[in-house]
Structure 1
Amino acid sequence: MNTYRMGRNAQRTRAAAGLVALLTASAVLVGCGDDNDKGGGASVTPKPSATPTSATPTAPTSAEGSGGMTEDQRSRKALIPEAKTSYDQALKAATAAVAGSKPVAVELKRGAGGKPEWHAKVATEDGTASTVRVDAVSGKADQPRAEDEDGDDKKKLADRLRRATVTAQQAAATATGKKSGTVSAVELDDNDQKKEIWSVDVVTKNDWNKTTFDVDATNRKILREHVDRD
């Protein structure tokens, strides 16, 4: 009887071991099947692809974004070197074209034909004004043209010329003494305080900026300085 039970127990132990082995093998086969579905071998978790970095555009160096200069700066750079006649030479030619006149204003501009010109304004003692164009290369003055003025305008200009004891050349020298450059315009005017001034534009060739100086027309004192970087 004991021998019989021992045999039965041995059979049960072997059967249980076989069942465990069968289950283990099945699990292995299932795992291999999954690997084969994924291409075989150990599965590799794909790395996320790198997102390309878009380049940030470089901001332009100026408002125009061309050569680091604005349109006005490029215009000055092109115009001023073409002028072989200075502002004071242009004023002398303009006043010589109108007997007994004094300078009122002068400005360097591009003429209708593309040539540089000085546009000058002169006036006689009674305030009669004339405009004179002076070739900025040859220095030759055209025929003066009288301006259309009424009696009040003439009197106002005559009074302004009388009160201005500082000349255009002296005002320009004061401005260029403060900032070295080329004088591109000079004009007799009055400021907000109704004081006679010479407005002088000086262009610096290192950056082609224009600086405007308001120079007191009675004592050469600089009342205002403004840099135009446009």
Structure 2
Amino acid sequence: MITKRNVHAPGHRRRPAPRGAALVCAAALAAAALLTGCGSDDGDDGAKTGAAGTPKAPTSASASAGGATLTEDQAERKELLPRAKVGYDKALDAAVAAVDKSEPVSVELKGTPDKPVWETEVATADGAAHTVDVDAVTGKADRARAESDEDADDKRKLADRLGKAEVSAQQAARTATGKTKGTVTSVELDDSDKAGALVWSVDVVTTKDWNKTTYDIDAASRKVVREHLDRD
């Protein structure tokens, strides 16, 4: 099939366009180019193309887009926990050894990444409480300090708690880590919100996301009576 084309006979020359018409065409082309360059100032094209008309890459809304961003508490755990070379159980052993005939009441990882420390509390059978700081790197216990603001009623209540606790701090911690695989950062003997039941409150941190899960373990039956996941 042959399409229609503007074919000139051999030897036939087209006459050149008048000079005035050429100038008009050049001016029209220049104006069109100017309008095209300015058109991106107000329209959507200005946000999508550069001066040369090439597409611009979209601006990222967050420097961590596509990855998890840690909360302040999670970041603190990530900084502190790996620096502790001594676990909660060894810290409790050191604290109990520092106070004759004492039993664990609480232990919690605190301090700074440069100086992590286990803050522990132990008490004797009469309810006399002592605070012992244990270096979380070396396992060395500082001198025990007797609770100066503890009165006779406080001692009686603490002695009563210790007498009723049939589950040890270590047993409660093992129950918690049996539910969530992680590192124990706190264990405390306390009354729960449910009818004043005696519980061991255990914090377990998972290093894959640095979340903390708190378990309340019944101090008599070793059953889990409460579980709370803290994503902050």
TM range (shorter): 0.7 to 0.9
- For residue 191 of structure 1, report the CA deviation from its aligned partner: 1.0
Letter in 2 for 1:58: A
Letter in 2 for 1:100: K
What is the SS of the residue equivalent to 1:157? helix
Match status 1:164 vs 2:158: no
Alignment length (residue pairs): 194
Instruction: Tell me the distance in 1 between the aligned counterparts of 2:27 and 2:124.
Output: 103
Letter in 2 for 1:178: K
More helix by share: 1
Instruction: Tell me the distance in 1 between the aligned counterparts of 2:96 and 2:228.
Output: 29
- For residue 169 of structure 1, report the CA deviation from its aligned partner: 0.2
Q: Deviations over 1:24-55 (max 9, x none)?
A: xxxxxxxx9xxx6x9569x97x6754432375
Equivalent residue, structure 1, for 2:185: 184
Distance 1:60 1:192, change over 3 A: farther
Instruction: Tell me the distance in 2 between the aligned counterparts of 1:40 and 1:79.
Output: 71
- For residue 82 of structure 1, report the CA deviation from its aligned partner: 1.1
Equivalent residue, structure 1, for 2:8: none
Instruction: Tell me the distance in 1 between the aligned counterparts of 2:83 and 2:73.
Output: 16
Q: Deviations over 1:105-150 (max 9, x none)?
A: 0001115x93111000000011000000001111111100000201
Equivalent residue, structure 1, for 2:88: 87
Match among 206, 217, 225 for residue 219 of structure 2: 217
Equivalent residue, structure 2, for 1:5: none
Letter in 1 for 2:122: V
Measured on the aligned residues, the alpha-carbon RMSD in Å equals 2.9
Aligned residue runs from structure 1 range 36-185, under 5 A: 39=27, 49=40, 50-51=43-44, 52-53=46-47, 55=58, 57-59=60-62, 68-110=69-111, 114-148=114-148, 149-185=150-186
Instruction: Tell me the distance in 2 between the aligned counterparts of 1:163 and 1:53.
Output: 71
Instruction: Tell me the distance in 2 between the aligned counterparts of 1:163 and 1:60.
Output: 53
Q: Deviations over 1:2-22 (max 9, x none)?
A: xxxxxxxxxxxxxxxxxxxxx
Letter in 1 for 2:100: A
- For residue 211 of structure 1, report the CA deviation from its aligned partner: 0.7
Equivalent residue, structure 2, for 1:15: none
Q: Deviations over 1:188-212 (max 9, x none)?
A: 0011121100000001011111111
What is the SS of the residue equivalent to 2:121? strand
Deviating runs (4+, > 2 A) in structure 1? 38-41, 46-57, 59-62
Q: Deviations over 1:45-72 (max 9, x none)?
A: x67544323756525769xxx9611121
Letter in 2 for 1:154: K
What is the SS of the residue equivalent to 2:137? coil
Equivalent residue, structure 2, for 1:201: 203
What is the SS of the residue equivalent to 1:53? helix
Q: Percentage identity across aligned positions?
A: 56
Distance 1:39 1:84, change over 3 A: closer
TM-score (norm 1): 0.75
